[in-house]
Amino acid sequence: MRLAELSGRSGVPTATIKYYLRERLLPPGERVTTTTAEYSDAHLRRLRLVRALVQVGKMPVATAREVLAAVEDESLDHHMRLGAAVWALPHGPAPAEETPEAAAARRTADELLHRLGWRYGAEQGAASPAYGMLVNALAALARLGYPHTVEDVLPYGRIAGELAVADLDLVEEYETPAEQVEAAVALTVLLEPVLLSLRRLAETEESHRRFRGDA
């Protein structure tokens, strides 16, 4: 397909597509003449991913480029490629090394992963951005006097395990490894607002059941 058709099928203006091409967020098309190029369904998929990162995820172009580089790294096996792409997403600051809360939060996080049987996550430890997010969150709970023990957060870990199964079931519906990696990144960005909204709606329902009854 030519640029105009790619724009029409994706809903992305041609000027924006040209910008993505200049910024190396979208691979170049196959050159037909000196002024035109041919684009494929792979470009259409990549455009959807770029829009998820930049427009929905509000990701800076430089960060999006790093994520896409991980998506394209065919030197890794499928598991490592999925992990590298998701790790490249923004995860917030690393935990502070010097605070007692952070040290205690690391112990809690390690015990939590052990209780959940998440051996691979435990082996990654501090190298994992998601582990750093968990430590920061547990430290904030402790600092502000809210529940933060392993027993307090273990139910959330078990629910997260079920969510991971649902996530990868969706990813496996895509045919090729490249499509699966792209889908894993896009769904990580796009489904997190869905999870947050569903949690708040569920809390509204449960609050009504507990505290309002039939009133």
Residue 215 has pLDDT above 60, yes or no: no
Confidence label for 140 from pLDDT (cuts 50, 70 and 90): very high
**Per-domain boundaries in the chain:** 3-72, 100-212
- Output the pTM of the full model: 0.81
Q: Which residues pair with 38 in a beta bridge?
A: 30
Residue 126 pLDDT: 64
Residue 25 pLDDT: 92
- For 123, half-sphere exposure in the C-beta direction (CA atoms, 13 angstrom radius) is 4
pLDDT single digits (tens) 108-133: 999 999 999 998 765 666 678 888 88
Among 14-18, 19-23, 76-80, which is the least confidently predicted range? Answer: 76-80
Q: Is the dihedral of CA 112, 114, 118, 123 positive or negative?
A: positive
- Under a CB-based contact definition with an 8 Å cutoff, are residues 170 and 179 in contact? no
At 38, is the secondary structure helix, strand, or coil? strand
pLDDT single digits (tens) 72-122: 888 888 888 888 888 878 777 776 667 788 889 999 999 999 999 998 765
Q: Give the mean pLDDT of the chain.
A: 88
Q: Could you give the CA distance from residue 106 to residue 111 in angstroms, rounded to a whole number?
A: 9
Residue 128 pLDDT: 82
Top-level CATH class of 3-72? mainly alpha
- More confident call, 33 vs 17: 17
Q: What is the largest CA-CA distance in the chain?
A: 72
Residue 185 has pLDDT above 60, yes or no: yes
Residue among 96, 93, 94, 104 nearest 138 (CA) = 104
Residue 15 pLDDT: 94
